[in-house]
């Protein structure tokens, strides 16, 4: 049985993950809440408080619904529930793209108010200056290239990357830009396998794949996808390690039957005039 207590060892640092390039794969899952962080923390190297929380927990149609306040609140919850994994918080759309100063201000606020270990932002060449400035301010950065969920409206949907030679070359340039700007790692999302593998070979920082390649230096999944709790479409790249949709639905149905038949609450759930445990 998996322990629900945070690990006792010290928290993994971004520098330690950087040193994992080409070594033991980095295990990453998203987390948005205190109990999930507690359950995952002993088993993973990195907990990503992804802006996917806007979709997964708040019902938005895409990640553009994430706000700074939302990311900070969930980042705080995950930090309270973890002590082992490196915690990275996504910078939401609109918090870093326009100017370098805004990027540093936003990153600083996330770090200050959550106590997390690093921030993540999407893009390569186009935001290299922002990455460099955030790193120069003393904040570790995780990059994100390939399919960029924050650009879904601009691109007219979720489109797999690297299928043309020109697009593959653009991805190589993005990866080099993220590396040169000082990021300690980079997520590669929704990219054809040979291109993701080649990016991993070409750069000196760890790559973390999601819909990318087993050759990446690590892998990440959205936790609700991985445990079969996603109620909408499950992406092709997901492997479901459990099927909690059925567990939750069956539990709710059993509870409803007991309430309607007055089988719950039973005598063991009630308080008497004598002292008993709450």
Q: Which residues are catalytic?
A: 189
The annotation status of 213 as a binding-site residue, yes or no, is: no
The annotation status of 90 as a binding-site residue, yes or no, is: yes
Give the number of other CB atoms < 10 A from CB of residue 171. 22
Sequence-separated contacts (24+) of 241-245 with Cβ below 8 Å: none
* 14's tokens: 């971004």
Contact 192, 162 (CB under 8 A): yes
What are the residue ranges of helices labelled H in 41-99? 53-56, 68-80
Spatial distance between the Cα atoms of 60 and 52, rounded to a whole number of angstroms = 9
The annotation status of 101 as a binding-site residue, yes or no, is: no
The annotation status of 198 as a binding-site residue, yes or no, is: no
Contact 88, 119 (CB under 8 A): yes
Contact 146, 216 (CB under 8 A): no
Spatial distance between the Cα atoms of 221 and 235, rounded to a whole number of angstroms = 10
Q: Please state, in angstroms and as integers, the Cα–Cα distance from residue 230 to each residue in 20, 98, 188, 196, following that order.
A: 31, 33, 22, 26
The annotation status of 174 as a binding-site residue, yes or no, is: no
Annotation: binding site for 3-methyl-2-oxobutanoate: 51-52, 90, 120
Annotation: binding site: 51-52, 90, 120, 122
Annotation: binding site for Mg(2+): 51, 90, 122
């Amino acid at each position: 049985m998996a322990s629900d207590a945070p690990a006792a060892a010290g928290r993994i640092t971004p520098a330690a993950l950087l040193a994992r390039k080409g070594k033991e794969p980095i295990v990453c899952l998203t987390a948005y809440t205190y109990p999930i962080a507690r359950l995952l923390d002993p088993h993973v190297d990195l907990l990503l408080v992804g802006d996917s929380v806007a979709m997964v927990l708040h019902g938005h149609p895409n990640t553009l619904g994430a706000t700074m306040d939302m990311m900070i609140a969930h980042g705080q919850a995950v930090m309270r529930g973890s002590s082992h994994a490196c915690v990275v918080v996504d910078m939401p759309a609109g918090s870093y793209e326009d100017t370098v100063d805004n990027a540093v201000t936003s990153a600083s606020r996330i770090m200050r108010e959550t106590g997390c270990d690093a921030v993540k932002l999407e893009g390569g060449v186009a935001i290299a200056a922002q990455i460099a400035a955030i790193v120069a301010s003393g904040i570790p950065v995780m990059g994100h290239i390939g399919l960029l969920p924050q650009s879904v409206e601009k691109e007219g949907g979720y489109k797999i990357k690297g299928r043309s030679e020109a697009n593959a070359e653009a991805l190589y340039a993005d990866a080099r830009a993220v590396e040169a700007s000082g990021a300690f790692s980079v997520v590669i999302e929704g990219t054809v396998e040979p291109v993701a593998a080649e990016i991993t070979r070409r750069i000196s920082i760890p790559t973390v794949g999601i819909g990318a390649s087993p050759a990446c230096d690590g892998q990440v999944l959205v936790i609700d996808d991985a445990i079969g709790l996603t109620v909408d479409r499950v992406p092709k790249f997901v492997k479901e390690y459990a099927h909690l949709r059925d567990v939750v639905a069956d539990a709710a149905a059993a509870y409803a039957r007991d309430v309607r038949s007055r089988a719950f609450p039973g005598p063991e759930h009630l308080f008497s005039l004598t002292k008993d445990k709450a």
